[in-house]
Structure formats: C-alpha cells, structure tokens
Amino acid sequence: MTVLRVRGLTKYFPVPRSRGGGRVHALDGVDLTINEGEVVGLVGESGSGKSTLGKCVVRLLEPTGGTIELNGRDISHLSQRRIRPVRRQVHMVFQDPYSSLDPRMSIGDIVAEPLRRHRVARSRELDAKVSSLLDKVGLAAAMRYRYPHELSGGQRQRVGLARSLSLDPSLLIADEPVSALDVSVQASVLNLFMDLQADLGFSCLFISHDLATVELLCDRVAVLYLGRVVEEGSREEIFSAPRHPYTRSLLSAITVPDPPRQRRRERIILSGDVPSPIDPPPGCAFHTRCPVAELPRCAGESPVLEPVGGTGHRVSCHLVSTLSA
C-alpha cells in the first residue's frame, strides 16, 4: 500500500524586492512515493530542497503546486483546522535536539503532549503510555520528571523519537536526525532507529546528507539537486550502479574510514558551487558543474525522470544512454 504519494510538487518562496526580487525555486516538480513499511532516503546538498520537501509533507509549509497524498487523501491544501487530525498519521523528528524540545516542559509532558492533544489517552492510561514510550527509546522511566537541559544530545534525540512515535504514525519524517550528534552517540541513535522501525514497521522519509547512513538505513533513495529529483532507485541501484553524473560524483565524495581503500577510491571532483535556486540554470540544472555535459542540448532542454531498466530505477539525464551502466 502507498503511504505517501507526492506528484509534481513545487514550492517557491518569494524574494523581497529589496533583495533583488524573484523567487527561490526550492522544489520544482518532485514526484515521490513511499510504500508501507518502506524507508526512503532523500539526499542532496544544502539548498537542494530536501528539508522543504519534508516540511511540505507534514504541511508546515503549503505547496505552491502539485499534490501530496497521505494514505490516499490529498492533503496539499487542507486548512489548518482540517489538517489537524491528519497530523496523527505523520510526524517529524528534527535535526537539532536542542531547539526542538520546549525547555519549560518536563520530558514526560513533551512525550505526552501529542497524546493529550489528540485525546488518545488520559490520566493513568497516559502515564502508562509515556512510560512505555520512554522504555521503547531506551530511557529510564524516571527521566519523565527531568527537563531538556539536564539531558545530553543523544538523550534529547531519543525524547524526540518517543514524541514522534507516540501516536503510532504511519509515516515519520526524519530531517537529519543524527547530524548534530557525536559519532559514538550517532551510532546508538541509529541502532535505536533501526530497531524501532523493524519493530513498529512505520514508513519513513529519511532526509540526510550523509550517504553512508542512508545506505545503511534506506530501502530506496531519491537524489535531489536544485529542487528536482535527478535519480531514484533501490539502495543497490543507487549505490552500486548509479547512472546520473551528479549521483556518481556525490558517491565518489564519500570518505571511508579505511585508509588504503580510501586512497584507491575514484574521485570525481566537481568544479564550482551549487548554483543559486533563485535563478537556476536553464535546461538540466546540473549542466554547469557536470563533467560530461554536452552543449547546447544539456543547457537547452530540461531532461525528464525516465526509467532505466525494468525496475523502479529512474534517471533524469539526456546522456544516460551514453554513460556506461
């Protein structure tokens, strides 16, 4: 069953006239589906639109165009009032465990808030639920009386996970959930995430710039560049047989903590920076940095996301047939 279906999603932000006017093309026609129990990785560099996509799906932002269907229901333009019940089905885990917890609420209240809001449980039943949630994320029951400032970064991120799972959502949006944490703490939060996902079976959109983590966790991966999906496929397709030149350079930029292996890795070093999403390059947005771009075609025509092979592997590149598989 399809949990999330995003079609032709666009999101533009106006730029004030005092700063030159125009609009930021944060998302430019994104298609994405997530099936039941599936973990889909969304990767891309800063400014690629990956966080904007996450925020549109939980409707913290209203899309400019396109549709978002959650469990078969179009939520792209629901009013604030009508979106409220939908929020039981989709929850978000934020990147920064310091600013995403209210410093004046106890841990117990933070975890209980969604349950109270949606009138799922009260009094003794609520207490029991909070204890079991804290237990699930590996926190002692006595933690409920503590406040965020008393907790370490890893513990806070566990609280964030407990809160987002409290209503048993069918979809979790995890926006860089471990990138603010130290390596050893990251490991324990990622292990916990894998256990919970296997246990509870929720679907997840996992937004990250860390490709190693994405390869470890995700069933399918979509690669964003300047608001467009340039390649999409299963974990194996993306990591073992990437077709888009951008995906290839992104993968070649991963460093592995194994010196001889790292020295042997093929390096594709891109020149220049990601262009501004206010004025994205015409044609294929990647052509300005692409090592194999063929002018004038790549600068003139926008490529579309097309299937390569029989499976769900899709690539948006004019030259895909000429690149070795």
Partner 1 sequence: MTPRLQVDELSVEFDTDEGPVLAVDRMSFTVGPREVVALVGESGCGKSVTSMAILRLLPRRASVTGSISLDGRELTSLSETAIREVRGRDVSMIFQEPMTSLNPSFTIGFQIGEVLRRHEGMSRKQANERAVELLDLVRMPAARTRLREYPHQLSGGMRQRVMIAMAVACSPQVLIADEPTTALDVTIQAQILDILRDLRADVGTSILLITHDLGVVADIADRVEIMYAGHQIESGPVDDLFSRPQHPYTVGLLGAVPRPDLLAEGGSRRLREIPGLVPVLRGLPESCVFAPRCTRATAVCGESMPPLARTGPEQYAACHHAGEDSPVRKGIQA
Q: What burial class does residue 275 get, using C-beta atoms within 10 Å of its C-beta: 0-12 exposed, 13-18 middle, 19+ buried? A: middle
For 274, the token pair is 């990601």
Residues 6+ apart with CB under 8 A from 152: 185
Binding residues among 31-50 for partner 1 as defined by CB under 8 A: 45-46
- Please identify which residue in 8, 84, 125, 191 interacts with partner 1, judged by CB under 8 A: 191
Least CB distance to partner 1 at residue 241 (A): 14
Strands (E), the chain: 2-14, 23-35, 39-43, 65-70, 73-74, 90-93, 171-175, 203-208, 220-225, 228-234, 306-307, 314-315
Selected binder of partner 1 within 60, 141, 194, 292 (CB under 8 A): 194
Q: Which is nearer to partner 1, 258 or 301 (CB)?
A: 258
Contacts of 69 (CB under 8 A, 6+ apart): 2, 4, 5, 6, 7, 75
Please name which of 279, 235, 236, 222 lies closest in space to residue 12, comparing C-alpha atoms: 279
In this complex, which beta carbon is closest to partner 1, that of residue 107 or of residue 211? Answer: 211
* Consecutive H or E run containing 237: helix 235-240
Task: Note whether 234 binds partner 1 by CB under 8 A.
Answer: no
Task: Determine, following the binding rule CB under 8 A, whether residue 253 of this chain makes contact with partner 1.
Answer: yes
Q: Could you tell me the two tokens for 285?
A: 């947005």
Question: For partner 1, which is the closer residue by CB, 53 or 217?
Answer: 217
Place of tokens 């959930």: 177
Of 27, 56, 101, 250, which one interacts with partner 1 (CB under 8 A)? 250
x/- track of binding to partner 1 for residues 106-145 (CB under 8 A): ----------------------------------------
Establish how many alpha carbons lie within 13 A of residue 68's alpha carbon, considering only the half-sphere containing its beta carbon.
24
Closest CB to partner 1 among residues 89, 186: 186
Nearer to partner 1, 259 or 310 (CB): 259
| Between 106 and 188, CB nearer to partner 1 | 188
The nearer residue to partner 1, 128 or 200, going by C-beta atoms, is: 200
Question: How far, in Å, CA of 36 to CA of 64, rounded?
Answer: 27
Q: Cβ 61 to partner 1, closest distance in Å?
A: 22
Asked if 16 interacts with partner 1 (CB under 8 A), we say no
Angstrom distance (rounded) from CA 35 to CA 39: 8
Specify the stretch interacting with partner 1 by CB under 8 A; choose among 73-81, 89-97, 129-137, 255-263. Answer: 255-263
Provide the binding-site residues for partner 1, judged by CB under 8 A: 45-46, 152, 182-184, 186-188, 190-191, 194, 209-213, 215-216, 239, 249-250, 252-263, 267, 269-274
